[in-house]
Each structure stands twice: as structure tokens, then as C-alpha cells.
């Protein structure tokens, strides 16, 4: 394995996190430091001996710093192939020095773009030119040069230099190059997206869709053991979600765990009161709201105890000790738990019970705000990709329309709101029965809507009497109403919009049911 000794380093960074300590360590190896502008000043102010780039190029920085590293004495030093006799001859002939390590991260274009009120001029000025050129040059010549683009890489680089007498292995240089090319690719992608939007302000969708996700972890397998899988996440996530949740305890997450955890979190996020959801096979089999989290858990679990075994739990509040005690009662098995936090006593309970401590996976998210949740959803199809806005429309019933003679009671209206939110997260065709702030029956993923009604009624049993029903889409026929009324449902919420809406309204009036039309459909295929 070829080791290249680092004798000279060029440092030019926007993010100066850890810069001084890293440069001091390099100097301790006898590395000559060359730097530019603000980076050079930071190093000099820290007492480090550092050459200004203009000393190397023989040319001053010009055009407000736009031109400083774009010079043959810089790029020849980076791009020269050390084992090429012809390159060596040219370097001697022109008295050029080699550069063995480039430390460069780019102007903060993305963060500038995200700033409220940032002008076009400010955004354009934060498009780096010389930085990406140096990064790509060093990455191209990784056989001889190392490129560092992230402060998170500093420790590993220093560790290897200590192990190799100030040298870096070819394997490490190649890995650093791969990270560098990914970095510049993402940088260019964001810039291209910005200008594409400016050039076509009335076009809702980009002509070319470029997605950029960072590898977080390889998974044991995908949906099935014969499928390989990995988890990729968006960079710079701010809102609480599965992708940036901390795994506090338990076995490695599986592909299916992550899917279910995401579903659990997206549902409880929409509920204002203390809420718990039980997810099984990407559908809520139980959900509830109450005055305390422990009560909400008890109601959610009792919604369908048979299906809840081996399920995923999602909470919209910090899990307290009383809730943890309820979760860990005998004969309960939970795969994963996700919540914004855990009281110390609750975490102790969840991780020390003999039947729990080895298996249950416990995740903690950032606060569950709606900030950043909106955006695009993607679905891969053979040969292409579907993109759509996330189904994050408000469901506050502000525009819901009463279409029947009977009005829902205050409690029924509260349950209708709750059931409607849950139905949004159930696979279509979706029917949700709720009563007293808890789901009592779910019909999911059936090809016929009336079959989903039958399934939900069967799951609910006697609890169906006095319940309310939410349907994610309109009823094509009145048979759905008839079956619900026969079972004991008292009120219904659905989008409306069928050519046979009047048949459903008439059926509700005949059975003495209340019904609301929301005007919003929530298909989830």
C-alpha cells in the first residue's frame, strides 16, 4: 500500500471548525502551511507560521478575492504526477513546488440560500470557483495528493499520519477523493437548482430532478432477507424525524423498522394532545389521545392487542416512568419505540427489564415541529420516479361541511377529527373507527371500500357501537353507510365528491347518522 508523506499543505476553508488544532498538528509533523485570505489570518493569529498564497504564486489576490488560487503554481503543485519523469522535469524547469494535502471546504452557498432575505447578489457571491477547482484537482490526483473537505475528517487524517510517519495511505486518499467528488457534486446540484428556478419561475417542477442523500448505514437486509439495503438521509436536517433520530438502545435497526418508525412519527406529529400510535406493517393498528401519555398508551394498545404484539410505538411527548411501566407489562413485546425524549426513570425501566433490555430499539428525535416536514415525496417506478408534494395539508375541519340532518355531538366531532387524521396514515382503501379518543377498528389496503368497512367492524367487535367512522376517500355506493349503521356507527367523515354522494347522504339520514364532507382526499397507496 503506497504511503505519501505530507510535506506541504494548502488550507483554504469557509468552515473553520477545528482548523487551528488541525493546522497545529500538521505543523507538528513538519508540514509547511500555505493559506489564503481569512484562513491565513486565522492561522497566523493563532501563532502558526503560514505562507500566504501570494508568496507561492508571485501574484496578489485580486478582484475582491475572487482570484487567488487559480494559478499554475497552485494547480501544477496539486496535479503533478509524482512518478512521472516528465512531470518532474517540468516542475524543476519552472521551479514549482508540490502540494501534498489540500484542506478546502467551499463558500456557504446553501446556507446563504436558506437565509431569509438573502439577495441574489449575496447568493451569487457565495458561489465558490477556486475552491471546487482545487478540490477536484486534488481528488483527481488522489494517487499523490490527499483532499480534506470536512472538519469531521481531521481526526482520521491525523491518526493515520501518526501511524505512518506523517504519511497517508492510498486507500485513505482514495476514500477522501470519493467524499470530495460527492461534496462538489452536491454543491453544483444546489447551485443548478437555484438558477433553474430563477430561469423558470413559473415552472413548478425542475426539468431535471437531482437527488442527494448521504449514506447513514448499511442494513442487514431489505424488506426480505435476500434483498440488500442501506439507509440514506438528507443533509442538514433540522426537524425531528427518523433520519436524524438518536438510537439510544437496542439491536440494529432493520429496513422495515425504519419504514414503520417513520409512519409512527408522522402520525403522532399531527396530534396535539398526548398521543401514542402502534404501527404494524406500516399501518396503525392502534392509536389514541388522552390527558396523560400512560392513558394514551393503554388505549392505543387495547385498540388491537393481537396486532400490537411485535409492533412499533410512536409518542409525541417525552416518555415518563408511568408510561414505561405500562409498556413493559408482562406478555407485551415491542420492536421499537420512538419519542422526543425519555425521563431517566423511564429509560431505566425500558432498558433493564430482563425480557426487554436486549431486544427493544429505543430512538429519540428532535422536537416534533412541523418545520421542514413539508417538501416532496418520491416513489420509484421501473425506469422512472414519481414526485409529489407531501400530504401535509391542514385538517382542522375549518371547511368541513355538515351534509346530514343530524349534527355530531361535541364528543363525536372530536373523535371524527382524530379518526380523520389517523385514516390519512392508513393504506387505502382506509376505514378507521374511533371512540373516546382511541382507534377501535381499522380496515386497510382492501381493493373494495366496503371490505375495509367489514374488516374495521370485525376488529372493533362490540366497541363499534357508538363509534365514529373516517374514510380516506368518498363512498362510491351507499352499502358502506348501510354496513356502518348496522354495526352501530353514529357519525361519519369522508371527503365527498362521488357522483353518488346524495345516495350516501340519504342513507345517513335514513339511519339517523351525522356525516361531514371535508373536500380533501387522503389516498395512501
Kindly name the residue from 140, 239, 366, 511 that is annotated as catalytic: 140
Please enumerate in sequence order all residues whose Cβ is within 8 A of that of 388, keeping only pairs 6 or more positions apart, or say none: 376, 377
H-type helices in 71-214, by residue range? 72-79, 85-93, 109-114, 120-125, 130-140, 154-163, 170-199
Q: Roughly how many angstroms between the first and final C-alpha of the chain, as a whole number?
A: 51
Cα dihedral sign, 497-501-505-511: negative
Phi then psi for residue 57, to 5 deg, are: -85, -25
**Residues 146/101, Cβ–Cβ less than 8 Å:** yes
Determine the Cα–Cα distance for residues 506 and 512; give it in Å rounded to an integer. 10
Q: Which is the catalytic residue, given 186, 239, 281, 511? A: 281
Residue 377 host element (H or E): strand 376-381
DSSP alpha helix (H) spans, 219-284: 255-268
- DSSP reduced 3-state for 93: helix
Q: Is 281 a catalytic residue?
A: yes
Catalytic annotation on 525?
Answer: no
Is the backbone peptide bond immediately before 301 cis, with ω within 30 degrees of 0? no
Q: How far apart are CA 166 and CA 163, in angstroms?
A: 8
Do 47 and 21 meet the contact criterion of CB atoms below 8 Å apart?
A: no
d(CA 426, CA 285) in angstroms, rounded, equals 9
Q: What sections of 143-254 are H helices per DSSP?
A: 154-163, 170-199
Residues labelled catalytic: 140, 281
Amino acid at each position: 500500500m503506497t504511503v505519501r508523506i505530507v510535506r506541504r499543505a494548502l488550507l483554504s476553508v469557509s468552515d473553520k471548525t477545528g482548523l487551528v488544532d488541525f493546522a497545529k498538528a500538521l505543523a507538528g509533523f513538519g508540514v509547511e502551511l500555505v493559506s489564503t485570505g481569512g484562513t491565513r489570518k486565522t492561522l497566523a493569529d493563532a501563532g502558526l507560521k503560514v505562507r500566504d498564497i501570494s508568496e507561492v504564486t508571485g501574484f496578489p489576490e485580486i478582484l475582491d478575492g475572487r482570484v487567488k488560487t487559480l494559478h499554475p503554481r497552485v494547480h501544477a503543485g496539486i496535479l503533478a504526477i509524482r512518478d512521472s519523469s516528465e512531470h518532474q522535469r517540468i516542475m524543476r524547469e519552472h521551479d514549482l513546488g508540490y502540494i501534498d494535502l489540500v484542506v478546502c471546504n467551499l463558500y456557504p452557498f446553501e446556507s446563504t440560500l436558506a437565509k431569509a432575505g438573502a439577495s441574489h447578489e449575496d447568493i451569487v457571491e457565495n458561489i465558490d470557483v477556486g475552491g471546487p477547482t482545487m478540490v477536484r484537482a486534488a481528488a483527481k490526483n488522489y494517487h499523490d495528493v490527499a483532499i480534506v473537505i470536512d472538519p469531521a475528517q481531521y481526526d482520521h487524517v491525523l491518526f493515520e499520519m501518526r501511524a505512518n510517519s506523517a504519511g497517508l495511505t492510498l486507500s485513505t486518499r482514495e476514500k477522501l477523493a470519493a467524499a470530495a467528488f460527492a461534496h462538489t457534486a452536491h454543491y453544483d446540484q444546489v447551485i443548478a437548482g437555484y438558477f433553474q428556478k430563477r430561469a423558470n419561475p413559473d415552472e413548478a417542477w425542475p426539468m431535471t430532478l437531482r437527488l442527494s442523500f448521504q449514506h447513514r448505514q448499511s442494513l442487514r437486509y431489505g424488506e426480505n432477507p435476500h434483498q440488500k439495503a442501506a439507509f440514506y438521509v438528507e443533509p442538514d436536517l433540522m426537524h425531528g424525524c427518523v433520519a436524524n433520530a438518536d438510537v439510544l438502545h437496542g439491536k440494529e435497526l432493520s429496513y422495515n423498522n425504519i419504514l414503520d418508525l417513520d409512519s409512527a412519527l408522522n402520525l403522532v406529529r399531527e396530534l396535539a394532545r398526548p398521543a401514542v400510535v402502534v404501527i404494524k406493517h406500516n399501518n396503525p393498528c392502534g392509536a389514541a389521545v388522552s390527558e396523560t401519555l400512560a392513558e394514551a398508551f393503554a388505549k392505543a394498545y387495547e385498540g388491537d392487542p393481537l396486532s400490537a404484539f411485535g409492533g412499533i410505538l410512536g409518542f409525541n411527548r417525552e416518555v415518563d416512568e408511568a408510561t414505561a411501566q405500562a409498556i413493559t407489562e408482562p406478555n407485551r413485546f415491542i420492536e421499537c419505540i420512538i419519542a422526543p425524549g425519555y425521563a431517566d426513570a423511564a429509560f431505566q425501566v425500558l432498558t433493564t427489564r430482563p425480557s426487554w433490555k436486549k431486544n427493544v430499539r429505543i430512538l429519540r428525535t428532535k422536537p416534533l415541529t412541523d418545520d421542514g416536514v413539508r417538501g416532496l415525496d418520491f416513489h420509484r417506478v421501473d425506469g422512472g420516479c414519481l414526485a409529489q408534494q407531501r400530504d401535509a395539508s391542514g385538517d382542522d375541519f375549518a371547511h368541513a361541511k355538515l351534509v346530514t340532518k343530524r349534527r355530531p355531538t361535541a364528543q363525536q366531532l372530536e373523535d371524527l377529527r382524530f379518526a380523520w387524521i389517523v385514516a390519512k396514515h392508513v393504506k387505502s382503501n382506509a376505514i378507521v373507527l374511533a371512540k373516546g379518543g382511541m382507534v377501535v377498528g381499522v380496515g386497510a389496503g382492501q381493493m373494495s371500500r366496503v371490505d375495509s368497512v367489514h374488516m374495521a367492524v370485525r376488529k372493533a367487535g362490540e366497541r363499534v357501537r357508538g363509534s365514529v367512522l373516517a374514510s380516506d376517500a368518498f363512498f362510491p355506493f351507499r352499502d358502506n353507510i348501510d354496513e356502518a349503521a348496522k354495526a352501530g356507527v353514529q357519525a361519519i367523515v369522508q371527503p365527498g365528491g362521488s357522483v353518488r354522494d346524495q345516495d350516501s347522504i340519504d342513507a345517513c339520514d335514513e339511519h339517523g347518522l351525522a356525516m361531514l364532507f371535508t373536500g380533501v382526499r387522503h389516498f395512501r397507496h
